[in-house]
Structures are given as C-alpha cells and as structure tokens.
C-alpha cells in the first residue's frame, strides 16, 4: 500500500508498505529517521515514542498504514534545523544521555509533559509522565534533572 503522511513538517509518500509493517519500521527504514529506537516491539519500553497527530504513541504498536493522512513528529523533528530543542540541550548538559537507546522516547515523553504544564512540574509529575519509558543506564536522576532544567528555562523565557 502507499502511505502519504507528514513527518516533521515534510510531506512524505512511502510505497509498498505491507499490512503488518509498523510505523516505527516505516520511519526508520523507509524514511531514514533512525532517532526512534526499536527495542521491545511490544510498547513496553517507550524507546520508539513519537507524536501522532500531537499525541505521544509507541510507533512499534501503530501499523504504518494508520499514518495515512496524518502528522508524525519524531525526536528529530523537535530540533529547529541544526539547533537542538531546549529539552534536548538539557539532556546533554545534565548527562541524561548515556547509551542513548531510551533517550529519544524519553525526550518525546518529556516534551509532551512540558507542553502540557506551566512552570516546573514536581518530581512525581515528571516520574508519572516518564513511567512508560525504561532506562537501564542512568537511574533516572539525570533525566529528571534535565526535565526540571528545561522546564525552568521555559518558564523564564515565557
């Protein structure tokens, strides 16, 4: 099947998508966007989290054909050209990126949290927002610190 959709602001057409092909596979292998990671393929780890029509979803659980006519935003789409999103910058500054496998999904989930909240969210709110994302390297402290830092910077600039 042919899938026409918008990815990171760019109209895309992908041909020969088979019925069982995931949106994650379409994005990584057919669109050349390797940011979202393929880890569990069961929606358990959150490494493949992307926005689908503005809602965070696990791309491994969405059939590629379901993207027809819709809008997808990946971790690559959060940056403004070569300039990282402030949340991406905060992850780097705080050492929240270690092996990097979980990072794209964590950043998309945290980006969604910061888009929905005013000011700096409390730690329990951050932890709840990131609960669907598993990390085996950081122990989450640097990740939470990065979200706090990005939120504080956002509050100051608003």
Q: What is the pLDDT of residues 89-109, one digit of tens each?
A: 999 999 999 898 999 999 999
- The Cα–Cα gap between 121 and 128 comes to 11
On the question of pLDDT at 158 being above 80, the answer is no
**φ/ψ (deg, to 5) at 49:** -60, 130
On the question of pLDDT at 129 being above 90, the answer is yes
| Beta strands per DSSP E along 8-156 | 10-14, 49-52, 55-58, 71-73
Which residues, 6 or more positions from 121, have their beta carbon under 8 angstroms from its beta carbon? 113, 114, 129, 147, 151
pLDDT 10s digits, 16-74: 999 899 999 999 999 999 999 999 999 999 999 999 999 999 999 999 999 999 999 99
pLDDT at 136: 87
């Amino acid at each position: 099947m042919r899938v026409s959709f918008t990815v990171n602001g760019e109209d895309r057409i992908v041909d020969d998508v088979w019925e069982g092909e995931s949106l994650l596979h379409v994005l990584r292998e057919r669109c050349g966007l390797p940011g979202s990671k393929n880890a569990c393929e069961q929606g358990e780890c959150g490494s493949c989290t992307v926005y689908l029509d503005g809602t965070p979803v696990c791309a491994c659980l969405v059939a590629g054909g379901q993207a027809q006519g819709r809008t997808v935003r990946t971790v690559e789409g959060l940056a403004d050209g070569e300039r990282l999103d402030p949340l991406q910058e905060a992850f780097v500054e705080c050492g929240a990126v270690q092996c990097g496998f979980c990072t794209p999904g964590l950043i998309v989930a945290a980006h969604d949290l910061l888009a929905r909240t005013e000011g700096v969210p409390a730690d329990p709110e951050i932890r709840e927002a990131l609960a669907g994302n598993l990390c085996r390297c950081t122990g989450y402290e640097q990740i939470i610190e990065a979200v706090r830092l990005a939120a504080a910077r956002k509050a100051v600039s608003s």
